[in-house]
Amino acid sequence: MSYKQDKTEPFWWGLFSAGGVVAAMLIPVLIYFVGLAEPLGLVGAEVSGYEAMSKLLSHPLVKVVFFVVAVLPLYHAAHRIRFMLHEFGVRKLILPIHYFCYGGAIVGTGLAAYILFYLF
Amino acid sequence: MSQSYETYKPKLSPTWWLKSRNYFLFMMRELSSVFIAAFVILFLYQLFALAEGKEAYAACRDELTTPGFVVFYAVAFVFALYHTITWLGVMGRVQVVRMGAFTVPPKLVTAGAFVGFFFVSAVVGYIFLYVL
């Protein structure tokens, strides 16, 4: 029996791995400051307020960091969702799932680039 | 003479991962990525609102600070921390650091990764709390 080798897999795996590192390092603290700290009353509303966030986004380096933080975890998730469906017993539709997962991440990349580098 | 055999296909129950603690934790680790991706999409939405202007951003903040979203953020935070622990926890085994003939002890590499995590978190916290 011959196996067809997927030559693109190392590329996707590389993005998965990079996304894993970025998510591990930055996502918890970001969820805390963006989503939790203010509604729980742990910091004032000004911390994630319009002025503070606008000031933050005015720095080009922050835009690049936010782009990386937003985009790479999408590829990380795409890879894991793809295999998670397989682990749940979905053995058909392998190719459509592949395209759906990575396609979604590519759309997300475009959106992030549009928001961070065009709108700002 | 060629003979064809039926391929053995093991049957997998959809709940196999509930049958052992380790399987369950493995699935939770995989699931963490879904919450992280959902957070990232909400974050992009928030940045989009920010670009739209002050009123749009205020409306977005009002929406994202409703109890439903706060519960989501809390759950996502726990999953994100679990991802951090599982991802950085195996760093020593995944990334062997060699300096000439000397191999850095894997435990030290793992510890270094966690020190890096706390350092990065502290820097981000400092920026949010004191610089802005």
Distance separating alpha carbons of residues A78 and A25, to the nearest angstrom: 19
* Nearest CB neighbour to B88, from listed A24, A33, A36: A24
Q: Which residues contact A50 (CB under 8 A, 6 or more apart)?
A: B50, B54, B57, B58
Q: Is B8 a member of any domain?
A: no
Number of domains in chain A: 1
- Between chains, do A24 and B57 touch, taking CB under 8 Å as contact? no
**Does one domain contain both B84 and B115?**
no
**Does one domain contain both B112 and B65?**
no
pLDDT tens digits along B2-53: 677 888 877 778 889 999 999 999 999 999 999 999 999 999 999 999 999 9
Answer for the pair A74, A105: CB distance below 8 angstroms, yes or no.
yes
CATH number, domain of B37, equals 1.20.1300.10
End-to-end CA distance of chain B: 78
Residue of chain B with shortest Cα separation from A24: B84
Q: Is A73 a member of any domain?
A: yes
Q: Is A85 a member of any domain?
A: yes
Cα B101-B104-B106 angle, rounded to 5 deg:
135
- Between chains, do A84 and B46 touch, taking CB under 8 Å as contact? no
CATH number, domain of A81, equals 1.20.1300.10
Domain region containing A67: 11-119
| B8-22 per-residue burial string, b: 16 or more CB within 10 A, e: under 16 | eeeeeeeeebeeeee
Q: Is B58 a member of any domain?
A: yes
**In angstroms, what separates the C-alpha of B87 from chain A's closest C-alpha?**
7
Other CB atoms within 10 A of residue A4 CB: 5
**Does one domain contain both B43 and B75?**
yes
Mutate to test the interface with A, among B29, B36, B46, B69 (most CBs of A within 10 A): B36
Q: Is B83 a member of any domain?
A: yes
**In angstroms, what separates the C-alpha of B20 from chain A's closest C-alpha?**
15
| Whether the predicted model's global pTM rises above the 0.95 cut | no
Q: Is B2 a member of any domain?
A: no
* Nearest CB neighbour to B39, from listed A31, A84, A88: A31
Answer for the pair B67, B74: CB distance below 8 angstroms, yes or no.
no
* Nearest CB neighbour to A29, from listed B30, B43, B125: B125
The model's confidence at residue B131, banded by pLDDT at 50, 70 and 90, is confident
- Between chains, do B73 and A77 touch, taking CB under 8 Å as contact? no
**Does one domain contain both B64 and B121?**
no
Distance separating alpha carbons of residues A89 and B3, to the nearest angstrom: 29
pLDDT in tens, chain A (120 residues): 566 778 888 999 999 999 999 999 999 999 999 999 999 999 988 888 999 999 999 999 999 999 999 999 999 999 999 999 988 878 788 889 999 999 999 999 999 999 999 998
**Does one domain contain both B80 and B29?**
yes
Q: Is B41 a member of any domain?
A: yes
Mutate to test the interface with B, among A13, A17, A29, A34 (most CBs of B within 10 A): A29
Residues of A in contact with B14 (CB under 8 A): 88-89
pLDDT tens digits along B60-95: 999 999 999 999 999 999 999 999 999 999 999 999
**Does one domain contain both B29 and B74?**
yes
Q: Is A1 a member of any domain?
A: no
Domain region containing B113: 95-132
Number of domains in chain B: 2
Q: Is A82 a member of any domain?
A: yes
pLDDT tens digits along B111-126: 999 999 999 999 999 9
- Between chains, do B84 and A25 touch, taking CB under 8 Å as contact? yes
**Does one domain contain both B29 and B59?**
yes
* Nearest CB neighbour to B50, from listed A39, A54, A81: A54
Answer for the pair B91, B76: CB distance below 8 angstroms, yes or no.
no
Q: Tell me how many helices (H) and strands (E) chain A has.
A: 4, 0
